[in-house]
Structure 1
Amino acid sequence: MAKYQQLTDEIQQQIEAGIWPPGTKLPSLRQQVAQHGLSLMTVMHAYEVLESQGWIVSRPQSGYYVAPRALQTAPAQVALSEQVDINNFVFDVLQAIREPAIVPFGSAFPDPELFPQRQLMRSLSNVSHQLTPLDALNNLPPGNAALRQMLAQRYARQGITLSPDEIVITNGALEALNLSLQALTEPGDYVVIEQPTFYGALQAIERLKLKALAVPSDPQQGIDMQQLEETLQRWPVKACWLMTTLQNPLGVTLSPARKAQLVALLARYQVPLIEDDVYAELWSGGEPPHPAKYWDRSGGVLHCGSFSKCLVAGFRVGWVAAGEHAQRIQRLQLMSTLSTSAPMQLALADFLATRRYDTHLKKLRQTLARRKEWVRQALSRALPAEASVSDSPGGFFLWVTLPRGYDTTRLYQQALQQGISIAPGRLFSAGEEFTHCFRVNAAWPWDTRAEAAIDTLGGLIADQRGR
């Protein structure tokens, strides 16, 4: 995490804790420089971010003060959905994106041209020539032993000690997440999700006939910890499905302190965390963020990952580090999909053994960062001044918030007629809280076609404002 962001998070937490009440003068820039050993530019950047977010205000010739409560946004409320019904809308949106002529701002996947297709096909060819009838049996749950060993080694490099026996290979991360949820719940149970959340969580809750408790999350801080604790106190929660790194759709990554706080909070209430970490490798900056699993000492975090967003989508290979739940998840997998494709598991193990993976990831992160910035700048030019575009580092999603009254479901339908897809806010909630928001995928090539599509979106939004 960037140094200015660390300071920003620290001051936000101090304001929330009441250390700096509204109207209080904050330490000066030079005092912060001396206290934290940072450069003056870093401290200035942190204060500018806090001011842009409404946490503090500057007074000429005086300094920086905590903003009065009138400037701070009223907290959103936890939303209880006794019955989730979103699958049909998700299906319609995803079907529309499949058209090759569509500008895919609504897609959930990065540009496949960014993946090392030839090297992966070479690995697949290598293992295909060596396949034996026994390989089908050897790659049944929990999955290919060599691949699980390599994953355990990658965890170890992050300071997380896991046995390969705790890891179950799945048909993509979505199966890992669904099986984890199924292993922890029964129909009618309460599950905490974020608000907004990944639509796959809503679909899983709908399919398993669970009840969703949606705790507000925002693009700067992530999930509201106070409301999460109040929810845990009030409801018999059986599981939490959360994204702590590069959350979809907001793009926010919880600070290390907030991840540690989250794990400790859930451990105190003995509620398991299903950590959806499919974008973990797409971080930006000097050091990779640790998952919440890093702070897990009680085995309460089921950590789910995938190669689909960072290496290859078509192989559909994911995993869950499930700890004591691994056996239960394996049995559920045997009753559903049986196992993950043996050739795909073997091909990934072959590719990872070449050590080209990290070289690919470094190049991928750089390309995504450039494309994301180009799209963000274009959106800033095309959107009304009152709109906001999320600016969290890493990943490839941008979350656009228009003023209340705009209808992004209608915008989605109008844009589709112009050959442009977006992901409307309705996709990411069981209710109507985000009908003025939409998500943009910035991972695809930035060219004149994409630039024209952003201008078209700006025109459609301006038309709504004029009505």
Structure 2
Amino acid sequence: MGGKNGREGNMPGIVPTRHLIRKMQFSAKSTGSVAPAMHRYEQLAAEWAEGIERGTLRPGERLPSVRQTCQARAVSPSTVFQAYAVLEERGWVEARPRSGYYVRARPSRPGPPPITPPPDTGPHPVAISELLVELLGSTRDAEVVPLGSAFPAPELFPFEALARCGARAMRRLKPAHITGALTAGDEGLREALRHRYAVQGVALHPEELIITHGAMEALNLCLQAVTQPGDVVVVESPAFYGALQALERLHLRALEVATHPQDGVDLTALETLLQRERVAACWFMTRFQNPLGALMPTERKQALVTLLARHGIPLIEDDVYGELYASAERPPPAKAFDGAGLVLHCSSFSKCLAPGYRVGWAAAGRFGATVARLKMMSSLSTSLPAQRAIADYLQQGGYDRHLRHLRHALAESQRRALAVIDESFPPGTHPTRPQGGYFLWLELPPQVNALALHQRALRHGISVAPGVLFSADARFTHHLRLNVGHPGDARLEPALRWLGAEVA
């Protein structure tokens, strides 16, 4: 993949060895001195990358274990892990839970090209709600294959354990806690969330964390806190349709910025927009973006936060998929780089632990008091039994174990789905290959009408999400978003093969 993103070589998203080595070296120009030799982990990563490029290490082959490498190379485990991290970040290898690091398989077809920049028509109103209601109502039918659904399979979640935790927590509840947790939320849950943020290197002020009725309430409250009707909000292109709905409801104007399937928001294009338009806020997903699945690299997240801080523009970070990473280490959110209190980080347990419980939160930075006031004026509080159930579950210590199983199941499901797509869809089909989450974005051959394909599929008992849902001006007419987060559903592979035949 060439062009402005600097990609080349045979594997989409891969940085060739010579570029990898060049990136690892210090710039003599910037330091004013001769560039020193690479660190040991950089040398190790470059050596493995060269082996992959030459074919000595083949796709699917397991890299040497940490213990083997430490013994053979006389290096520390941290050196080996740093080398793995470099290779993973550059796209050469992938981590498989409880198994190790493997050379990334070269796909039989390329991933999608960079998203075409949206037309330069300036900010515009949004009107997609009617289309959404019509198209997404089908996902409620259990008889329909849920490739168009927004949620993973319910069988992946510990509902029985949550029910036991809820009953136990409510028996212990003191009456005074009922009114004490009204707006900000249950203190036990808030403390557990602050601890999880701290593990990610994010120190939250207690007053900026507000428990909400799912992530959508958190996002809507944050949007209200930083905008007025008629304001311009920058969204990704393609964008999560929930963001477009929120802008429509609050009478805001959308300004779309090109978003790459691997790198996320195009920062050069974003800076151009900020210089040209008066922007009130940005609403982005930096980890496993819906619908692309894009994971913005860490250094680009940091650059994004720096850019917006320079312009004084708030970032609403929609991060409901942040826990669903497939790598060995959790990538940080943009919130980790927020020194100005301008990042309003929103998430929930709906996609990672408790669908239907509708427990989310906002870590709203300097806007915490405003968001809390808006919460009090709208819904006042979030269901206390649901909060207490989740807080008790977190205190029992099983959450991270559950997440490991969930991530593994989703990663395996994605791997199988991509294999079926590679076999069954015709040339001109380009799927994304995300590093987490459970969505795939397919660019189909240009002559395919994805909306008509959706209607034919629904008559066949299959739901899909056509690309027109993900843009304020109904672009992406030959694109689909597919939910592959149903690993136990035997209907998925036949449904994918049927879609491939229809596209062909």
| Structure 1 length-normalised TM | 0.85
Match of 1:65 in 2: none
Indicate if the aligned counterparts of 1:33 and 1:40 stay in contact, CA closer than 8 A. no
Instruction: Give per-residue Cα distances to partners, 1:259-304, cap 9 Å, x unaligned.
Output: 0110000011110000001101100112100000111111110111
Instruction: Give per-residue Cα distances to partners, 1:84-104, cap 9 Å, x unaligned.
Output: 000111112221100010000
Indicate if the aligned counterparts of 1:238 and 1:271 stay in contact, CA closer than 8 A. yes
After TM superposition, the structure 1 = structure 2 runs for residues 15-414 of structure 1, keeping only pairs within 5 Å, are 36-38=43-45, 40-43=47-50, 76-77=117-118, 80-414=122-456
Q: Quick one: distance in 2 between partners of 1:101 and 1:229?
A: 46
Alpha-carbon spacing, 1:131–1:416, altered in 2? closer, same or farther (3 Å): same
Q: Give, in angstroms, the shift of residue 437 of structure 1.
A: 0.5
Alpha-carbon spacing, 1:432–1:418, altered in 2? closer, same or farther (3 Å): same
Q: Quick one: distance in 1 between partners of 2:444 and 2:13?
A: 25
Q: Quick one: distance in 2 between partners of 1:436 and 1:426?
A: 8
Instruction: Give per-residue Cα distances to partners, 1:75-124, cap 9 Å, x unaligned.
Output: 52455342100011111222110001000000111111100111100011
Alpha-carbon spacing, 1:236–1:262, altered in 2? closer, same or farther (3 Å): same
Q: Give, in angstroms, the shift of residue 146 of structure 1.
A: 1.3
Q: Give, in angstroms, the shift of residue 130 of structure 1.
A: 3.2
Indicate if the aligned counterparts of 1:277 and 1:304 stay in contact, CA closer than 8 A. yes
How many residues are treated as equivalent by the alignment?
Answer: 422
Does the residue aligned with 1:282 lie in a helix, a strand or coil? Answer: coil
Q: Which amino acid aligns with 1:143?
A: G
Alpha-carbon spacing, 1:36–1:142, altered in 2? closer, same or farther (3 Å): same
Q: Give, in angstroms, the shift of residue 161 of structure 1.
A: 0.9
Deviates more, 1:131-140 or 1:388-397: 131-140
Alpha-carbon spacing, 1:180–1:132, altered in 2? closer, same or farther (3 Å): same
Q: Which amino acid aligns with 2:242?
A: G
Indicate if the aligned counterparts of 2:346 and 2:363 stay in contact, CA closer than 8 A. yes
Q: Give, in angstroms, the shift of residue 431 of structure 1.
A: 1.5
Instruction: Give per-residue Cα distances to partners, 1:289-341, cap 9 Å, x unaligned.
Output: 00001111111101111100000111100001112211111111112111100
Indicate if the aligned counterparts of 1:374 and 1:446 stay in contact, CA closer than 8 A. no
Q: Give, in angstroms, the shift of residue 379 of structure 1.
A: 1.2
Indicate if the aligned counterparts of 2:114 and 2:260 stay in contact, CA closer than 8 A. no
List alignment gaps of at least 5 residues for structure 2.
1-11, 28-37, 60-112
Q: Quick one: distance in 1 between partners of 2:339 and 2:18?
A: 24
Match of 1:454 in 2: 496
Alpha-carbon spacing, 1:362–1:265, altered in 2? closer, same or farther (3 Å): same
Match of 2:90 in 1: none
Does the residue aligned with 2:280 lie in a helix, a strand or coil? Answer: strand
Alpha-carbon spacing, 1:446–1:146, altered in 2? closer, same or farther (3 Å): closer
2:485 to 417, 438, 443: 443
Match of 1:465 in 2: none
Alpha-carbon spacing, 1:118–1:137, altered in 2? closer, same or farther (3 Å): same
Q: Give, in angstroms, the shift of residue 134 of structure 1.
A: 3.0
Match of 2:30 in 1: none
Instruction: Give per-residue Cα distances to partners, 1:347-394, cap 9 Å, x unaligned.
Output: 111111001100100111001101111111111111112111111211
Alpha-carbon spacing, 1:319–1:7, altered in 2? closer, same or farther (3 Å): same
Q: Give, in angstroms, the shift of residue 418 of structure 1.
A: 0.2
Root-mean-square deviation over aligned CA pairs:
2.6
Does the residue aligned with 1:313 lie in a helix, a strand or coil? Answer: coil
List alignment gaps of at least 5 residues for structure 1.
20-30, 50-71, 463-467
Does the residue aligned with 2:346 lie in a helix, a strand or coil? Answer: strand
Indicate if the aligned counterparts of 2:237 and 2:471 stay in contact, CA closer than 8 A. yes
Q: Which amino acid aligns with 1:76?
A: P
Instruction: Give per-residue Cα distances to partners, 1:159-196, cap 9 Å, x unaligned.
Output: 11112321000001111001000010000000000000
Q: Quick one: distance in 1 between partners of 2:50 and 2:203?
A: 36
Q: Quick one: distance in 2 between partners of 1:447 and 1:87?
A: 30
Alpha-carbon spacing, 1:141–1:380, altered in 2? closer, same or farther (3 Å): same
Q: Quick one: distance in 2 between partners of 1:407 and 1:80?
A: 26
| Structure 2 length-normalised TM | 0.79
The sequence identity of aligned pairs, in percent, is 44
Q: Give, in angstroms, the shift of residue 408 of structure 1.
A: 0.6
Q: Quick one: distance in 2 between partners of 1:32 and 1:216?
A: 35
Q: Quick one: distance in 2 between partners of 1:298 and 1:192?
A: 20
Q: Give, in angstroms, the shift of residue 11 of structure 1.
A: 4.6
Indicate if the aligned counterparts of 2:17 and 2:49 stay in contact, CA closer than 8 A. no
Indicate if the aligned counterparts of 1:382 and 1:458 stay in contact, CA closer than 8 A. yes
Does the residue aligned with 2:357 lie in a helix, a strand or coil? Answer: coil
Q: Which amino acid aligns with 1:346?
A: R
1:432 to 470, 474, 477: 474
Q: Give, in angstroms, the shift of residue 42 of structure 1.
A: 2.8
Match of 1:58 in 2: none
Alpha-carbon spacing, 1:287–1:47, altered in 2? closer, same or farther (3 Å): farther
Q: Quick one: distance in 2 between partners of 1:47 and 1:317?
A: 49
Does the residue aligned with 2:281 lie in a helix, a strand or coil? Answer: strand
Q: Quick one: distance in 2 between partners of 1:35 and 1:347?
A: 45
Match of 1:62 in 2: none
Alpha-carbon spacing, 1:88–1:397, altered in 2? closer, same or farther (3 Å): same
Q: Quick one: distance in 2 between partners of 1:98 and 1:158?
A: 35
Does the residue aligned with 2:329 lie in a helix, a strand or coil? Answer: coil
Q: Give, in angstroms, the shift of residue 451 of structure 1.
A: 1.7
Q: Quick one: distance in 1 between partners of 2:210 and 2:267?
A: 30
Q: Quick one: distance in 2 between partners of 1:113 and 1:457?
A: 25
Does the residue aligned with 1:37 lie in a helix, a strand or coil? Answer: helix
